[in-house]
Structure 1
Amino acid sequence: MTWHNSLQWLQALVAFDTTSRNSNLALIHHVQGALDGLGVQAELFHSPDGAKANLFATLPAQDGGMQGGVVLSGHTDVVPVDGQPWSSDPFTLTQRGDRLYGRGSCDMKGFIAVALALVPELLALPRRQPLHLALSYDEEVGCMGAPVMIDALVRRGARFDGCVVGEPTSMQVVVAHKGINVYRCRVHGRAAHSSLTPRGSNAIEHAARLICHIRDLAEACAANGPYDECFDVPFTTLTTNEIRGGIAVNTIPDLCEFSYEFRNLPGMSPQRIQAQIDRYVREQLLPRMRREHEGARIDIEPVAAAPALEAAEDAAITQLVRALAADPATRKVAYGTEGGLFQQAGIPTVVCGPGSIEQAHKPDEYVELAQLQACEHFLRRLAQSLQGDGI
């Protein structure tokens, strides 16, 4: 019965187009209504504009206790399908063989579907500790939604013993990932006709100097470390991935905008990395620009940030999830999750969920039936472990 419900839930969740540019409220209200029908009250934490919401719900312990226990975390937004060659409607769950195709089936509505399908069974399970569901918005655009929920819970004194983030890991245990830091830079020069070059200040050319400096920092990290060989890319990376500037081939541009990101190893301060960029701007680039134009300036603003995760091996949640997944391997990944946000709030966290990250964000995204079944078995055993005095 539960397995059939997992597929029904996944079908329902995929049908909601929760691409990050859209609202997720229809999906959230659907889940809230279903939980309410089971007697579980779900609290919503809305985005500042009210267009999106996180959902947090607690399946209390048998004595009604709401503190402690384990959080099951998942994001409800998905990446766009624009321009991708899908073989079927990306927002209609489609089974072909042992695979279920649809946007978000792998990343990460499969995990959410299994967790929701198990709620009736878990409510009937005599647990001495509660189990919590945390569904977020805007993870795919920089983990923008989860902090709204986590901060509110922390302020009210909520306490949790651990968190499992159900990102696709093929049901293997991930104990660490890099931090993600995204910045937007606007270089302001002065426009002029290209035949009168000395009267202008070329924003594109000065932006190029800063971009090359960022590349130099990236090469220094690759050459000198620090390193962690458990990662597929064992050092901190920096890249510039978007740029816009100029209006005509014969006009000195007065504006150039670009975005850059860096992915720092756990334990490496992202503030120190950004400080090196700021220092180059302040001490070298701006003085050079202002010799051409006194009003030149460079504006750098943070766009998104997700802290790195590094789970403690002796943490109870790490040991429990390793035991349930029968996975002793040390596995660290370059992609980010909301796990670092929970850890930053003092909640021990690991990552483990159905599906392969290799399928995430691609056309014809899919999750294997066997992965959902393994997730159901894992979550059921996790809930049963809460029958004791502590995880």
Structure 2
Amino acid sequence: MSQDPFVSESIELLKKMVATPSLSREEGAVADIFEQYLKSFGLSPERNGNNVWVKTAGFSAEKPTILLNSHLDTVKPSSAWKYPPFVATDPGDRIIGLGSNDAGASVVALLAAFRKLEQSSQPYNLIFSATAEEEVSGDGGVASILKELGPIDLGIVGEPTQMQMAVAEKGLMVIDGEVAGRSGHAARDEGLNAIYEALPVLEWFRTYQFPEQSEFLGPVKMTVTGVESGSQHNVVPDVCKFMVDVRVNEFYRNEELFQLIQKKVNCRLQARSFRLNSSSIPVDHPFVIRGEQLGLQKYGSPTTSDQARLPFTTVKIGPGDSARSHTADEFIYKKEIAEGVDLYLHLLDGLNINSI
């Protein structure tokens, strides 16, 4: 592992993060750590709620702005943990603990890259943000500080991707549906069975394919994940309720897709939210081109992240492995943090995004 002091400091910061419980909406203590850590280097962080950010000196409206963002919150630990989840266990080559992989390693690696990049002149403004409520897609997270950050031209979202480039990420929309019938006695030929009326609707969701299909994310995927109807065996049900999980590719905005679905389906539909849109970065973007020159791969991510709340061009990339996220005894290799810092620097140092 590199003896770079920035990397060593990042590992120690990660240990403090792990040892400080930061469940979603309860990130205050770890936000305090980051605020004081940034101040210790003579930086001037800003804070709103449990979100902390800092801008490079000499911010200029003449330059584009790049945001380096990752999240401070974690999911709740499961009962399957063998190691204490809120202790940074260090067997030598890795750090074991809740949030070490998702997304503590990305937070500290992005911060180390920010500290190095801000020491020299860059053709862009740079902002580092450590934000809250990512795991619950909460309104008190990165979305709550966008006005204070100002216009952003490119967002680097730190999540465990094995430092490969997630150039597209699926959006998520949950739809509740209701098909009406008419009640009657099950023993007589009366009423209108809402379950039977719902069958062609459910079949439509199972089989319909939207025309726009993505190279990286494939087609829009709709899955009926719940059906509820009926109250007792001898009553023809007058309503059938269902819910649909919709994973959206980058060719559709959630609200647009919902309107298209409503035109195709003759029943009552209600989307729970339009917030979690798909996101992408053009494959000819200078960041992607440089990544390919460094030997990185492009792929589409099926999991949602803060990208869904960022209304500008973003790419998801960070140290660690998504397969370890939300698992018992989650861990990050120390060498992954070192590699993450190094790759972030190679990707961003001197990057000219004015050419897009």
- Overall identity of the aligned pairs, in %: 21
Structure 2 Cα separation of the partners of residues 185 and 28 of structure 1: 40
Q: 2:128 aligns with which of 127, 133, 145?
A: 133
Structure 2 Cα separation of the partners of residues 13 and 256 of structure 1: 47
Paired residue secondary structure (2:349): helix
Q: Which residue of 2 aligns with 1:377?
A: 342
Structure 2 Cα separation of the partners of residues 363 and 197 of structure 1: 55
* Structure 2 unaligned blocks of 5 or more: none
Q: 1:333 aligns with which of 301, 305, 312?
A: 301
Deviation string 1:355-387 (CA, Å, 9 cap, x unpaired) is 11111122222222222111111233345326x
Structure 1 Cα separation of the partners of residues 181 and 22 of structure 2: 39
Structure 1 Cα separation of the partners of residues 132 and 303 of structure 2: 18
Structure 2 Cα separation of the partners of residues 243 and 82 of structure 1: 28
Q: Which residue of 2 aligns with 1:316?
A: 286
Structure 1 Cα separation of the partners of residues 156 and 300 of structure 2: 15
Structure 1 Cα separation of the partners of residues 99 and 215 of structure 2: 30
The answer on 1:70 being equivalent to 2:79 is: no
The answer on 1:79 being equivalent to 2:75 is: yes
Paired residue secondary structure (1:81): coil
Q: Which residue of 1 aligns with 2:12?
A: 8
Residues 246, 320 of structure 1: alpha-carbon distance in 2 compared, 3 angstrom cutoff: same
Structure 2 Cα separation of the partners of residues 228 and 138 of structure 1: 29
After the TM superposition, which of the residue ranges 209-218 and 7-16 deviates more from structure 2?
A: 209-218
In the TM superposition, what is the alpha-carbon distance from 1:279 to its structure 2 partner? 4.5
In the TM superposition, what is the alpha-carbon distance from 1:147 to its structure 2 partner? 2.3
Residues 269, 34 of structure 1: alpha-carbon distance in 2 compared, 3 angstrom cutoff: closer
Q: Is the 8 A contact 1:9 1:116 kept in 2?
A: no
Structure 1 Cα separation of the partners of residues 28 and 230 of structure 2: 39
Q: Is the 8 A contact 1:9 1:117 kept in 2?
A: no
Residues 355, 237 of structure 1: alpha-carbon distance in 2 compared, 3 angstrom cutoff: same
In the TM superposition, what is the alpha-carbon distance from 1:333 to its structure 2 partner? 2.1
In the TM superposition, what is the alpha-carbon distance from 1:306 to its structure 2 partner? 1.9
Q: Which residue of 1 aligns with 2:321?
A: 356
In the TM superposition, what is the alpha-carbon distance from 1:165 to its structure 2 partner? 1.1
Deviation string 1:226-247 (CA, Å, 9 cap, x unpaired) is 433544xx22111244567888
Structure 1 Cα separation of the partners of residues 55 and 7 of structure 2: 22
In the TM superposition, what is the alpha-carbon distance from 1:353 to its structure 2 partner? 0.7
Structure 2 Cα separation of the partners of residues 58 and 96 of structure 1: 35
Q: Is the 8 A contact 2:14 2:100 kept in 1?
A: yes
Q: Is the 8 A contact 1:108 1:168 kept in 2?
A: yes
- For residues 90-101 of structure 1, what are the structure 2 equivalents within 5 Å? 90-96=85-91, 98-101=93-96
Q: Which residue of 2 aligns with 1:167?
A: 159
In the TM superposition, what is the alpha-carbon distance from 1:135 to its structure 2 partner? 2.5
The answer on 1:213 being equivalent to 2:201 is: yes
In the TM superposition, what is the alpha-carbon distance from 1:126 to its structure 2 partner? 4.3
**TM-score, normalised on structure 2?**
0.80
The answer on 1:114 being equivalent to 2:109 is: yes
In the TM superposition, what is the alpha-carbon distance from 1:72 to its structure 2 partner? 0.7
* Structure 1 unaligned blocks of 5 or more: 47-52, 286-297
Equivalent residue letter for 1:88: Y
In the TM superposition, what is the alpha-carbon distance from 1:128 to its structure 2 partner? 5.1
Structure 2 Cα separation of the partners of residues 135 and 197 of structure 1: 63
Structure 2 Cα separation of the partners of residues 265 and 125 of structure 1: 38
Residues 14, 331 of structure 1: alpha-carbon distance in 2 compared, 3 angstrom cutoff: same
Equivalent residue letter for 1:28: A
- For residues 211-250 of structure 1, what are the structure 2 equivalents within 5 Å? 213-214=201-202, 216-221=204-209, 226-231=212-217, 234-241=218-225
Equivalent residue letter for 2:159: E
Paired residue secondary structure (1:11): helix
Residues 277, 228 of structure 1: alpha-carbon distance in 2 compared, 3 angstrom cutoff: closer
Q: Which residue of 1 aligns with 2:34?
A: 31
**TM-score, normalised on structure 1?**
0.73
Structure (1/2) with the larger helix percentage: 1
Equivalent residue letter for 1:358: A
Equivalent residue letter for 1:216: W
Residues 30, 372 of structure 1: alpha-carbon distance in 2 compared, 3 angstrom cutoff: same
Equivalent residue letter for 2:332: V
Paired residue secondary structure (2:287): helix
Paired residue secondary structure (1:373): helix
Q: 2:137 aligns with which of 136, 139, 142?
A: 142
Deviation string 1:223-274 (CA, Å, 9 cap, x unpaired) is x75433544xx22111244567888889999998764321112113433432
In the TM superposition, what is the alpha-carbon distance from 1:109 to its structure 2 partner? 1.3
Residues 93, 215 of structure 1: alpha-carbon distance in 2 compared, 3 angstrom cutoff: farther
Q: CA RMSD in A?
A: 3.7
Deviation string 1:289-314 (CA, Å, 9 cap, x unpaired) is xxxxxxxxx67242463221221122
Q: Is the 8 A contact 2:158 2:317 kept in 1?
A: yes
- For residues 177-326 of structure 1, what are the structure 2 equivalents within 5 Å? 177-184=169-176, 213-214=201-202, 216-221=204-209, 226-231=212-217, 234-241=218-225, 259-279=243-263, 283=266, 285=267, 300-303=270-273, 305-323=275-293, 325-326=294-295
Residues 380, 262 of structure 1: alpha-carbon distance in 2 compared, 3 angstrom cutoff: same
Residues 230, 314 of structure 1: alpha-carbon distance in 2 compared, 3 angstrom cutoff: closer
